[in-house]
Structure 1
Amino acid sequence: MKIGILGAGNVGGTLGERWAKQGHQILFGVRNRTAIDLQVRLDRTGGNAQAGSMTEAAEFGEVVVLTVPWGAVEELLPSLGNLEGKILLDCTNPNFTGEPSQYHPISGGERVAELVPTAKVVKIFNTTGWENMADPQYGSEAITMFYAGDDDAAKAVAATLAAELGFDPVDAGSLSNSGLLEAIAQLWGKLAYAQKLGRGIAFKLLKRP
């Protein structure tokens, strides 16, 4: 599968590297394609990844993965052109508490969908740290990866890509539930930093047999 990743930082770079090693073709959309850390990432992908502009990555991908900082989202997405029919995986978290307010009446996932109305948006890969994306196994247990969206086929692709990395994907319903996933991300951050548990923590959904 062709995957265009918008950003090549900790989240985008880690996801891209791992999918490249699964045999997917990756194009990282970056501002500086000659950066040394980017070249190191590309060298680790066995020739399955390249770098280009943000627009080139969006055009390249059957799946487009949004991993830029939230502050860049409003400017970036409208500049990418027509994303009609593409699956867009939203891995971002807004810079707010996750609760609706007069300034943020909807979730970040829903705002992304407003900005790219012809794309099939799935909220995923936003509820845990990048280290867990590099290795989602805790002993014999796989980390739960919640995802939400309104298109069943797009969600199935998102779930498959998560499972390929070793996650246990769990459907959290419609895209209107994105705020719940963003709140999980906030809780993860509070536990990691305010409660000083560190970044080596993750959530697991348990079901009775």
Structure 2
Amino acid sequence: MRIAIIGIGRVGRALAQGLGGKGHAVTLGTRDTASEETKAFAATVGATVASPVDAAAGAEVIILALPWEAAEGAIRALGGLSGKVVIDCMNPLGMVDGALGLTLGHTTSGGEIVAGWLPQARVVKTLNQVGAAIMARNAHLTHRPVQFVAGDDSGAKAVAMGLLADLGFEALDAGGIAKARILEPFAMVWINQALARGKGPDWAFAAVTGA
């Protein structure tokens, strides 16, 4: 599958590492295509480098791994992305009352806003519920980590679930894109435990079923 990862920070790079060697053609979308460091990283994971617009144009699946504050301009610059599967793994984070928190919720979500920016695309919310390290590597965990998936297009969700399996996750369907309103606060539980409660980044939620 042809996959464009838009944004090459910690999350974008972790996803490139996790998808490397899984039979996908991965392109890293960056404005600085001449960066030798980026090209060297891409070579280590078997990816190519292109501008965000070119990466998205040539992809079947676009993964958005951008800081929320930069997301709107960057996403609108990609064009309409008509018919393409777009995976939104961002959380609308910012400083709220002096602490890191969600800047919106209850009546909308980051996932719904992204879908509004891309009305012709098939937007799926997932990969927002865990830190970057677990996206790149999770086979060492005692239980298979879980990722919930929200979206209005069942075919797009099936594609996303297949990629989640490639990344080592169990994928569970959370419902339509409006369910991003519960997935984004759920991410804050992971962030709280990892950053504020001393658990660190090397863990994930799992769905453990009884006999």
Q: Answer whether TM exceeds 0.5 for this pair.
A: yes
TM-score by length of 1: 0.91
2:176 is matched with 174
2:39 is matched with 39
1:195 is matched with 197
How much has 1:26 moved relative to structure 2?
A: 1.1
How much has 1:152 moved relative to structure 2?
A: 0.4
Deviation per CA, 1:151-209: give whole Å up to 9, x if none. 00000000000001111111111110102111111111111111111111211122233
2:126 is matched with 124
- SS class of match (2:124): strand
| Matching of residues 14-163 of structure 1 within 5 Å | 14-46=14-46, 49-96=47-94, 97-98=101-102, 100=104, 105-163=107-165
1-side partners of 2:140 and 2:32: how far apart?
35
How much has 1:36 moved relative to structure 2?
A: 4.0
- SS class of match (1:26): strand
- SS class of match (1:80): coil
- SS class of match (1:21): coil
How much has 1:76 moved relative to structure 2?
A: 1.2
How much has 1:14 moved relative to structure 2?
A: 1.7
Unaligned runs of 5+ in 1: none
Maintained 8 Å contact 1:99/1:179: no
- SS class of match (2:77): helix
Give the counterpart letter for 1:162 in structure 2. Answer: L
Deviation per CA, 1:114-173: give whole Å up to 9, x if none. 000000000011100111011223444110011110100000000000001111111111
Count residues in correspondence: 205
Maintained 8 Å contact 1:28/1:51: yes
Give the counterpart letter for 1:116 in structure 2. Answer: L
Deviates more, 1:174-183 or 1:90-99: 90-99
1-side partners of 2:107 and 2:34: how far apart?
39
2-side partners of 1:76 and 1:137: how far apart?
33
Unaligned runs of 5+ in 2: 95-100
Percent of residue pairs identical: 37
2:207 is matched with 205
* 2:182 is equivalent to residue 183 of structure 1: no
Give the counterpart letter for 1:171 in structure 2. Answer: D
Change (3 A) 1:50 1:175: same
How much has 1:19 moved relative to structure 2?
A: 1.8
2-side partners of 1:36 and 1:129: how far apart?
26
How much has 1:37 moved relative to structure 2?
A: 3.5
TM-score by length of 2: 0.91
1-side partners of 2:133 and 2:141: how far apart?
15
Change (3 A) 1:78 1:192: same
